[in-house]
Amino acid sequence: TDLMVFDSQIHGEGARLGNGEIGQQGLQGWTTADQSLSWTFRLIEPATFKVALSYNTAHDNQNGTVYLTVDRQTMAVEYTAFVPVVEKDEHGRLRLRHTTLLAGHVTLSAGEHALRLTAGEYTGDVLMQPLFVTLNPDGSGESSR
């Protein structure tokens, strides 16, 4: 399950969603701890998930830490700069390559759950540009680029 940034609720002033154009995807202008993203989702049965965060950065000097909290379980995600690479897909359309980091694993009961993405410390003029959070029920996998 992918929780897309475009489906999140944005908290705090100044942060906004990009226009979806290449290089303007995800959250833009994320600079303070008062700004965050949240999602609510429902499970019909208990499950354990691998939680991953996909993102880009606007510049190659942007590094830092963000926090993913699922209910009361918080995972620190240290990220490094990943300026997006534009590629052509198998149909010749341009697409933006991103990177994905494993945040951790969570075990959740059936019912409604809340996920929040908050800021930690960072270098550069803004935080990362998160694109989506993935909850993968297989519980395996590693960080990838």
What are the pLDDT digits (tens) for 83-111? 877 777 788 876 667 889 999 999 999 99
**Chain CA centroid to CA 72, Å:** 18
At residue 145, does pLDDT exceed 50?
no
Summarised one tens digit per residue, pLDDT across range 47-69 is 999 999 999 888 889 999 999 99
Across 114-125, average pLDDT: 95
* CB-neighbour burial class of residue 142 (10 A; exposed 0-12, middle 13-18, buried 19+): exposed
